[in-house]
Amino acid sequence: MKAVVVGYGAMGRIIASMLKDDLHSIVAIECENKSLNDVKGDFDVIIDFSNPANLDMIYDYCKANNKAVVFATTGYTEAQLAKINDLANYAPVLRSANFSLGVILLNKLVKEITPILKDSFDIEIIEAHHHHKVDAPSGTAKMLLNSVVEATGFTPVYGRDGYSPRKPDEVGVHAVRGGSIVGEHDVMYCGEDEIITLKHSAHSKKIFAVGAIKAARWLEDKSNGFYTMEDVLFQNK
């Protein structure tokens, strides 16, 4: 697999190192100084671990050249997400809010148990990240929230303030920022006299690189369309 990594921050450097160690070809570029049009030679797939400001560049290039792209960036607006979905008409596209294999499994478990517990358990989502993270709630928390809302129709409540009692058809979402926390996500099901918690803790950013590379390998020979990490892990397509 020949890969181009868009963005050469912490995650970009980890992915570049892992690909080189696995004897894959790689071109790592910093989008502040270069664009995909500057890449010399052919390649199979783009892995984007940069920021939403680079979407237009990636969209234009992939649409024109029919290149597969793995979107690992978070913080997109609704309009940008619509643009990513549109790109799937012209190229193989895979986007995920989180590339940890454990988080994808966590989300699958949330989808399975929420319909069972929704009538007798209150549901709260708590996420924690390092103090440099700029978006809140995290993309992963939003993914988990979407799974809960799809199964329940509950109304999201972001943080809690004031004196209003909790309503039974709410799902709370809470963000914590501090220190060097890599990433923690809890989905709590709180019933009478018992609590069930689904929890994932990331101890290294390497787990996200492992998932992104796995996604890229899986995507490189796929036809145009929109794919997710659930497709990669559970062979949905």
Q: Which of the residues 67, 118, 129, 174 is marked catalytic?
A: 129
Confirm whether 133 is a catalytic residue. yes
Catalytic residue among 34, 83, 133, 205: 133
129 is catalytic: yes
Please report where in the chains the tokens 């992104």 appear, as a residue: 212
Residues with a catalytic annotation lie at 129, 133
